[in-house]
Amino acid sequence: MREGYCKPMSYKVRLNSTLEGLKPSGIRRFFDIACEMDDVISLSIGEPDFSTPWHIREEGIKSLEKGKTWYSPNSGLMKLRECIADYTKKHKGISYDPISEILVTVGGSEAIDLGLRALVCPGDEVLIPEPSFVCYSPLTEMVGGIPVPIVTKAEKAFRLTPQALKAAITHKTRLLIMPFPNNPTGAVMRREHLEEIADIIRETGIFVLSDEIYGELTYGQQPHISFASIEGMQERTMLISGFSKAFAMTGWRLGYACGPKDLMKQVVKLHQYALMCAPTTAQYAAIEALKNGDPDVESMRAEYDVRRRYIVDRLCGMGLTCFEPEGAFYVFPSVAVTGLSSEEFSQRLLKEKSVAVVPGTAFGDSGEGFIRISYCYSLKHITEAMNRLEEFVKENRRA
């Protein structure tokens, strides 16, 4: 061992202070507690309970058998990008050039990060409708942007309203996040609502990052409408989607971003330096998913729909008033009937009935008074959880 002075390592000085200032994910925290208890029934997981359909897995396996284990091109396999272009044209009615306007990413979440890093300069304001998924605000802070939450309300079906958007815009506003279909509320924006938003955006220099990872999972008569398909919006929208939710492919880590080529040219650089390329095996599987996976999506969607209807009915029956979610796989009921805060409700429910849900506050301050329930579970599992939840609500009704 070498002798002499060794300066002690101070992480306080060495670490990025913005990073240190970020809160850990509120979803993670509850899950970790639940994992340490026995006999917990969880309703907290936000990923499909289905395995990836076999024919899709098989294409991944085949690519491994053939030894296709190299890097893919930075932007993704050309064949996959072409499939994404076809799929987006067919399902969303938008045309993108597979060579210059589509990037295959490591999950939709990488695309969100890239989009924020490419579009936001220090001091820029980023409008984030809330409650919404946990990553937008921390990733904005990491690039020096200022997250500006826009509260969406249950009585407005958790939609972004033109009034709320207008009120939030300042001369510093650079980007609007459009997180619909929404995690955790299950809200969707119909064409008429998107048009109202587009009317405002059109008159500004604001860019839009539309996170449509749940786009395939909507339950009304009307299919999901992509923000980029609204007139004039494609040139100012980065459309993000992926394979995780629709095709039950979370563990493959594969998503994609589509956008105007001037933007994508810059985004590809970031992706290239940070990630090189998305996993090649996953990309081969994804080609099969886009080509032949529609019937699988439809059957999973039908199953989610059954569960969704059942949960909403049970929640309303026990007095947890509940906006009827029309997308994603979450229900976001109000716990007002108990008079408990989201956090108290979730903690006591876990302690007293061993049921894990996520407090609404994990998705922004505006989630106070709500909890997120996932229905990525079998009906049997959901039924037992609902029975326990019902007991809990009965015992904790505000006098």
Partner 1 sequence: MDKLLKLLDENARLTNSQLAVMLGITEQEAEDKISELERSGVIRGYKSVIDWERTDRAYVTALIELRVSPKRDLGFEEIAETIMRFDEVESVYLMSGGYDLSVIVNGQTFKDVAMFVAKRLSTLESVLSTATHFVLRRYKDSGVIFLGEEKDERGVL
Q: For residue 28, give the amino acid letter.
A: R
Assess 42 for contact with partner 1 (CB under 8 A): yes
Q: Does 45 bind partner 1 (CB under 8 A)?
A: yes
User: Binding residue for partner 1 (CB under 8 A) from 2, 12, 171, 380?
Assistant: 380
Residue 218 touching partner 1 (CB under 8 A): no
47 interacts with partner 1 by CB under 8 A: yes
The nearer residue to partner 1, 87 or 310, going by C-beta atoms, is: 310
- Residue in 310, 368, 384, 387 binding partner 1, rule: CB under 8 A: 310
Does residue 382 touch partner 1 according to CB under 8 A? no
Name the residue nearer to partner 1 (CB basis): 41 or 340: 41
Quote the least distance from Cβ 314 to partner 1, whole Å: 8
Interface residues for partner 1 in 112-141 (CB under 8 A)? 134
Are 173 and 223 spatial neighbours (Cβ–Cβ below 8 Å)? no
Q: Of residues 123, 235, 379, 397, which one binds partner 1 by CB under 8 A?
A: 379
3-state secondary structure the chain: CCCCCCCCCCHHHHCCHHHHHCCCCHHHHHHHHHHCCCCCEECCCCCCCCCCCHHHHHHHHHHHHCCCCCCCCCCCCHHHHHHHHHHHHHHHCCCCCCCCCEEEECHHHHHHHHHHHHHCCCCCEEEEEECCCCCHHHHHHHCCCEEEEEECCHHHCCCCCHHHHHHHCCCCEEEEEECCCCCCCCCCCCHHHHHHHHHHHHCCCCEEEEECCCCCCECCCCCCCCHHHCCCCHHHEEEEEECCCCCCCHHHCCEEEECCHHHHHHHHHHHHHHCCCCCHHHHHHHHHHHHHCHHHHHHHHHHHHHHHHHHHHHHHHCCCCCCCCCECCEECCECHHHCCCHHHHHHHHHHHHCEECEEHHHHCHHHCCEEEEECCCCHHHHHHHHHHHHHHHHHCCCC
Which residue among 64, 121, 306, 336 contacts partner 1 (CB under 8 A)? 306
CB of 41 to partner 1, least distance (A): 10
- Per CB under 8 A, does 49 bind partner 1? yes
Are 91 and 214 in contact, with CB atoms under 8 Å apart? no
Q: Is 87 in the site for partner 1 (CB under 8 A)?
A: no
Using the minimum distance from each CB to partner 1, give the nearer residue, 49 or 141: 49
Nearer to partner 1 by C-beta: 28 or 89?
A: 28
Q: Which stretch binds partner 1 (CB under 8 A): 22-30, 86-94, 113-121, 288-296?
A: 22-30
Tell me the C-alpha to C-alpha distance, in Å, between residue 116 and each of 119, 135, 274, 381. Answer: 5, 11, 14, 38
- The site that binds partner 1 (CB under 8 A) totals a number of residues, namely 21
Residue 46 engages partner 1 in binding (rule: CB under 8 A): yes
**Amino acid symbol at 304:** Y
**What is the nearest approach in angstroms of partner 1 to the Cβ of residue 251?**
9
Establish if 44 lies at the interface with partner 1 (CB under 8 A): yes
Within 10 angstroms of residue 37's Cβ, the number of other Cβ atoms is 11
Q: Does 25 bind partner 1 (CB under 8 A)?
A: yes
Cβ-Cβ contacts under 8 Å for 275 (sequence gap 6 or more)? 105, 106, 110
Q: Is 151 in the site for partner 1 (CB under 8 A)?
A: no
Q: What is the dihedral of CA 94, 124, 201, 228, to 10 degrees?
A: 10
x/- map, 227-256, partner 1, by CB under 8 A: -----------------------x------
Q: Rank residues 167 and 302 by Cβ distance to partner 1 and give the closer one.
A: 302
Query: Least distance from C-beta 280 to partner 1, angstroms?
Result: 22
| Shortest Å distance, C-beta 399 to partner 1 | 30
- Residue span binding partner 1 (CB under 8 A) among the ranges 37-45, 161-169, 191-199, 226-234: 37-45
Question: How far apart (Å, rounded) are the C-alpha atoms in residues 108 and 106?
Answer: 7
Query: If binding is defined by CB under 8 A, does position 347 make contact with partner 1?
Result: no
Regarding 22 and contact with partner 1 (CB under 8 A), the answer is no
Among the listed ranges 6-14, 43-51, 155-163, 334-342, the one in contact with partner 1 (CB under 8 A) is: 43-51
Residue from 309, 351, 394, 397 that binds partner 1 (CB under 8 A)? 309
Give contact residues for partner 1 (rule: CB under 8 A): 25, 27-28, 31, 42, 44-47, 49, 134, 250, 302, 306-307, 309-310, 313, 376, 379-380
